[in-house]
Structure 1
């Protein structure tokens, strides 16, 4: 293994199902807040001070008990570089993560989905947070779904690379885990589009709205709004169709391994919202043809991608694989609300930003990074 590994190469290693050891040498509070995760990843926290002590003693061979290769991680790749050097000197196959967690948080990958009807849908994945977004392209027209403000310059450029112009930016709901790029993109020639009921939450900027059943044309491809409240009252999935079974961009409603949590919207009773979510999932989303491709708004750290690196599965397969979906409404509500994870970091401020009430001026990495806590389990 080389002495360093790029964030992209580490993401490939994790996505490939390899066992990877990660030694995180940051301070305890930074480690507890968020860390590199993924299927096959085993993480240990060993503060850099212990490596300094080991250097004085003469070796770091007893500091970690991890599968090899071991990747050393810190904030910017400096202290972890020293740790990786000591581990290699002790005979451990170890590499330093270039740029550290800062670079890991800035990694944003794009891959085209293999859709059931041939529609061109590009999936964006941010490994550090599990956020997924989408670019729909047909001819010279393009639409982006759930864009991130931190990567707002990517979408128009990616559309142009496919011979198209980005014309609309759509949010499936008011996000609580990241600052949306919809408003930023609409400062140019892109039209902002939000669910119609988002106005009931106090949306404070101009945007077109989508009601249940409304359609937007992207070339010869149709994007149809499917109301799916539960995670939030305005949550709206988008069905992308190109003459056959479509691709369901489910936002935060139904995931590949779970369902969305029902407690992030201020003033909403979680049990009532969970009951609404059960209805949305079973009567609206799972009522679509089983071959419809489910492409969610988030992916958890234990989910393995498909062979092509994308995160999507046919609805019928998801219905069979997710135990929560076999429960009746009462049991579903009890299970979903029983042990909700911590709220996403800075959720209140992020919601305010996405409603247009606040314009955060600090580094978005500081505001957004954290584990994927939008799923109920």
Structure 2
């Protein structure tokens, strides 16, 4: 476990202890309010409400490989909790691999190849790149190994199912909040925008959604600052923008951006002047909203996305009916609804450490 993962774990553990969460609290997580996209994988597909329920148990102990871009922040810790707990509940064998960051596409490709070579029967992938895995997935699919696209989005015809939400909608929800506060005709406000690592499918989608939402409003979005979702990388980008833009009104971006920004603006004495938003949820973002340091963030229920992906893999392996393109329903969390949310669906609970294997 690296330093960043340890920090993510301790943030989670501290917050979870305060809320009284317990590992295993969400064993009966279904039926869950979700949305199915039809036709599956279509960019303009129609979203239909769905009460998602998984299989009660797997028919046999299938071997599933899960590939993550990294576990440097609490977001992927939450996805990890989802895939681990659902693998245990269904009774399958599962291995999680961590590529170490969004700059390590080659490592993720090698890890996927190794997984299939050792005999994994299905592969669940949180992709580093929307297009960079296409060749390896062609090889995987040729071996009749199901591929499940988890969270980030993959532009490949060889994907078997998708468990994800629209990051366009996540970005749009954040931009919509700003546009409603600063409509056309009101004084212009400057927003520093930090969408995440360049080239990642989820980043491109969130960026488009955010920009579409603020179009025609008084929100002036500065040139986007792309970077890896490690705290050090995001902190440097924030510092640079604050240095060059003394009249900045908002910092908006990834959860890591938001978490880093709260410390930076407070240290600079700007917390009354610069407001912070995230376009997805983590324990640190939740804590920031609770303390009034982060305004709001949409929740994409990353734990549930992980659970659904494992269920999809088992359904595909067993030839059972499967929703091939599904994700939890997105909702915005702010100070108004904070206490009414079932947190174990969207964040990892107290005591959960990064887990890499279910036997």
What TM-score range do you get, normalising by the shorter chain? 0.3 to 0.5
Q: Return the index of the structure with the highest Cα Rg.
A: 1
Normalized per residue, the structure richer in helix is 2
Give TM-score scaled by structure 2 length.
0.36
Give TM-score scaled by structure 1 length.
0.35
Which structure carries more relative contact order (alpha carbon 8 Å, separation 6+)?
2
